[in-house]
Structure 1
Amino acid sequence: MRLYQEIGQQLRDAIHRGTYQPGDKLPAERDIASQFNVSRSVVREALILLEVERCIEIRKGSGVYVLASAPRESGESPLSDSVSCGVFELLQARQLLESEIASFAALQATKSDITELRNAIELEREQLSSGYIADDTDEHFHYLVASATQNAALVAIVQESWKLRSRSGMWQNQHQDTSDFSARWQWFEDRLRILQAIQRRDAKGAKRAMWQHLENVKNKLFKLADTAAADFDGYLFNSSPLDADG
Structure 2
Amino acid sequence: MDKVVIPQEKKQYQEIGRDLRQKIQQGHFAIGTRLPPERNIAETYGVSRTIVREALLMLELEGTVDIRQSSGVYVIRIPNENAEEEDPILHGEVGPFEMLQARQLLESNIAAFAAKMATKTDIENLRRTLEQEQRAIVANDESGDNDKMFHLLIAGATQNQMLLDTVKSIWQRREASPLWQQLHSRIATKGYRLKWLADHQNILAALRRRDVMGSYQAMWQHMENIKGTLMELSDVDAPEFDGYLFESVPIFQGKLV
Structure 2 distance, partners of 1:156, 1:183, is: 27
Counterpart in the other structure of 2:182: 173
Give the structure 1 partner of residue 130 of structure 2.
121
Contact 2:203–2:215, Cα closer than 8 Å, also in 1:
yes
Of 215-224 and 193-202, more deviation after overlay is shown by 215-224
Question: Deviation at 1:178?
Answer: 1.3
Q: 124, 136, 147: which one pairs with 2:156?
A: 147
Counterpart of 1:187 (choices 190, 193, 196) is 196
Matched, 1:217 2:229: no
Which among 106, 114, 117 is matched to residue 115 of structure 2? Answer: 106
Kept in 1, the 8 Å contact 2:152–2:168? The answer is yes
- Say if 1:145 and 1:238 are closer, same or farther in 2 by CA, change over 3 A: closer
Of all paired residues, the percent bearing the same amino acid is 41
Q: Which residue of 2 aligns with 1:14?
A: none
Separation in 2 of the partners of 1:240 and 1:185?
Answer: 30
Equivalence map 1:48-67=2 (5 Å):
none
Q: Counterpart of 1:239? A: 247
Kindly provide the amino acid, as one letter, of the partner of residue 249 in structure 2: P
- Counterpart position of 2:166: 157
Query: CA 1:134/1:220 → structure 2, altered by over 3 Å: closer, same or farther?
Result: farther
Shift of 1:182: 1.6
Q: Please give the alpha-carbon distance, in whole angstroms, between the structure 1 residues aligned to 2:109 and 2:166.
A: 12
In structure 2, do the counterparts of structure 1 residues 142 and 111 end up closer, same or farther at CA, with 3 Å as the change threshold?
same
Backbone CA RMSD of aligned residues: 2.1
Give the number of aligned pairs. Answer: 160
The one-letter code matched in structure 1 to 2:189 is: D
Deviation of the 1:135 alpha carbon: 4.7
Post-superposition offset of 1:236: 7.8
- Point out 4+ residue stretches in structure 1 off by more than 6 angstroms: none
Q: Give the equivalent residue in structure 2 for 1:203.
A: 212
Contact kept in structure 2, 1:102 and 1:206, CA below 8 Å: yes
Give how far 1:224 is off: 2.7
Cα distance in 1, alignment partners of residues 233 and 158 from structure 2: 33
**TM-fit CA distance, 1:238:** 5.3
Cα separation, 2, equivalents of 1:135 and 1:223: 26
Match for 2:148: what amino acid?
Answer: E
Instruction: Report the TM-score, using the length of structure 2 for normalisation.
Output: 0.58
TM superposition shift of 1:84: 2.8
The answer to whether the Cα contact below 8 Å between 1:89 and 1:236 also exists between their aligned partners in 2 is no
Unaligned ranges ≥5, structure 2: 1-90
Distance in 2 between residues matched to 1:102 and 1:185, nearest whole Å: 21
Matched letter for residue 197 of structure 2: F
What is the distance in 1 between the residues matched to 2:112 and 2:164? 14
Q: Is the 8 A contact 2:101 2:246 kept in 1?
A: no
Equivalent residues of 1:88, 1:236 under 8 A apart:
no
The higher radius of gyration belongs to 2
Partner Cα separation in structure 2 for residue 83 and residue 154 of structure 1: 24
Q: 1:83 to 1:110 in 2, by over 3 A?
A: farther
Distance 2:227 2:248 in 1: 13
Unaligned segments of structure 1, at least 5 residues: 1-81, 229-233
Partner of 2:99: 90
